[in-house]
Amino acid sequence: MEKNLEQISSLCKRRGIIFPSSEIYGGINGFWDYGPLGSELKRNIRDAWWHFMVQWRNDVVGLDATIIMHPRIWEASGHAAGFADPMVDCKDCKKRFRADQLCEEQGKKLIQTGKTFQLPEGTVCTACGSKNLTEPRSFNLMFKTYVGPVEDDSAVAYLRPETAQAIFAQFTNIFSTARKQVPFGVAQSGKSFRNEINPRNYTFRSREFEQMELEFFIRPDEAVELICGKVATLADNPDLNGEPQENWGWEVWHRYWVEQRLAWYKLAGLPQEDLHLYWQTKDELAHYARACVDIEYAFPFGVQELEGIAARSDFDLSQHQKFSGKSMQVQDDRLRLVCAEMSQEAKDAFKAKVVADWTSRGKDAAAAEQFVEDLFLGRYVPHVIEPSAGTDRLALALICNAYDEEKLVDGKGKEDIRTVLHFAPALAPIKVAVLPLVKNKPELREKAWKLFTDLRRDWKCAWDETGAIGRRYRRQDEVGTPFCVTVDFDTLENDTVTVRLRDSMEQIRLPIAELPAYIRKAITL
């Protein structure tokens, strides 16, 4: 079926998944609240991501950092000076747009020369059709605030625009306490804030949102070469589904994490045909990035980014080393021991090779020499691969993917429409609904309530005793509950219940004693 975002958002509000923020006061653009079921969905997404990225691995640890950090962090990262979007206003209708998006909607491309922008010929306001537009100007996306009682320049701070920088700023503390060696990763999920010029497409582009990010720290390729003799590349056809290998270079690590994230999205229930990989071109890459691929999803409003996976070199840690004056180098004992056994002739040849490579890419020869000398002592600033996903975008993708309207025909030929959310059971806000067949039989209700209280120790469950059983099934279909358990008169006789399956509407009979194991197997991601 062709999916309509307006219908989906209507369902989300009606069933307590997503509400407009501050709605009783007219709302506030770019902010959304997650209701009773939406908050469960987001929690399930975070937990599933954390299990896959952290708990099920031995090479990733976690961090939970503050939203407000020292403003120098944003100077080091480049956000204070360069985290901006081009903005343009219509002088007639007073609407404001992101200049690149305005051009894109009209099949044009914003003209950029250095840090200045220019609208192409014929660009018009999409709201009123006027050509009376301002010149594009940069607009910093960070929310400014003040720390302490005095609002002056010395107290300026910012709400974080991403979670990643806290990981870099805390790198040395994590490395010294986590008892991990490179390669290893640090994961964090949490709120971020960007003062978007033009929030749009429901929750897709918001001013307050949640991220799930991993910074996976790896050896520089030069260190890998010293240790292993050769750096594995994609041309060597490495087994990306197997255990990571010591000889992997940045290119293989990057592709490995692309494959890991695609595998996770498949587990989460997003179909392969709706996921697309967009490899950023050389002109699109950040100046420090070696590669970046966007995992995109086919939303009702178009194919858009869910997650970016970037090979960021050593840029972030090196910037914080420069701005803080604190070393971000690690001591790699494996590298130190290998280099200690090298002859001076071999060291000289290796240094010459690295210097030639660096200078051919426009890098400083003296910096290359110092880098190699540090390598020989077993020291380097790690490089990083960064998979960065949007929790809210993923929640929206899962809702859009799950939404369905099925035409049903009963035995008398009467047509009906069933609205259902086909969530993967592990991510569904409610896992089980317990339904007493009737509510006016105390012994039956008591049996159902006992089952409900037992099941809710392990899963989020719903209790519904109002209305016809078919109507109660439909209510659970609309919120994506995978299992409805009906306690009826046979239950009192033989301790079995009817389990109704959301997707097929099939009904099976199970002993109560077997029900928890059945549910647990079905909802495992």
pLDDT band, very low/low/confident/very high, at 225 (cuts 50, 70, 90): very high
The mean pLDDT value for 424-441 works out to 96
The mean pLDDT value for 101-120 works out to 86
Q: Retrieve residue 200's tokens.
A: 């749009």
Residue 221 backbone dihedrals phi, psi, to 5 degrees: -55, -35
Specify the residue for token string 């100007």: 137
Does residue 70 register a pLDDT over 90? Answer: yes
Provide the β-strand partners of residue 85: 139
The percent of residues in the chain predicted with pLDDT above 90, rounded, is: 84
Of 202, 77, 65, 215, nearest to 142 (Cα)? Answer: 77
Residue type for 9, please? S
Kindly write down the DSSP assignment for every residue of 371-417, as one continuous string. Answer: HHHHHHTTEEPPEEEEEEEEHHHHHHHHHHHHEEEEEEE-TT--EEE
Q: Retrieve residue 312's tokens.
A: 């960021």
Instruction: Give the model confidence (pLDDT) of 9-32 as tens digits.
Output: 999 999 999 999 999 999 999 999
CB contact at 8 A, 518 and 510: yes
- Report which of residues 264 and 89 the model is more confident about: 264
Instruction: Give the model confidence (pLDDT) of 41-50 as tens digits.
Output: 999 999 999 9
pLDDT of residue 387: 98
pLDDT band, very low/low/confident/very high, at 104 (cuts 50, 70, 90): confident
- Report which of residues 173 and 142 the model is more confident about: 173
Does residue 360 register a pLDDT over 70? Answer: yes
The mean pLDDT value for 388-416 works out to 92
pLDDT of residue 357: 93
Whole-model pTM over 0.85? yes
Round the average pLDDT of the chain to a whole number and report it: 94
**Comparing 127-141, 437-451, 500-514, which segment has the lowest mean pLDDT?**
127-141
pLDDT of residue 261: 97
The mean pLDDT value for 241-256 works out to 96
Q: Give Cα 96 to chain centroid, integer Å.
A: 28
Does residue 82 register a pLDDT over 70? Answer: no
How far apart are the C-alpha atoms of 289 and 285, rounded to whole Å?
6
Does residue 240 register a pLDDT over 80? Answer: yes
Does residue 281 register a pLDDT over 80? Answer: yes
Bond into 71 cis (ω within 30): no
pLDDT band, very low/low/confident/very high, at 287 (cuts 50, 70, 90): confident
Does residue 101 register a pLDDT over 90? Answer: no
Query: What DSSP character marks residue 232?
Result: B
pLDDT of residue 480: 97
The mean pLDDT value for 105-118 works out to 85
The mean pLDDT value for 221-230 works out to 97
The percent of residues in the chain predicted with pLDDT above 70, rounded, is: 99
Kindly write down the DSSP assignment for every residue of 252-269, as one continuous string. Answer: HHHHHHHHHHHHHHHHTT
The mean pLDDT value for 433-447 works out to 94
Does residue 6 register a pLDDT over 90? Answer: yes
**Number of C-beta neighbours around residue 379 at 10 A:** 17
Instruction: Give the model confidence (pLDDT) of 158-206 as tens digits.
Output: 999 999 999 999 999 999 999 999 999 999 999 999 998 888 899 999 9
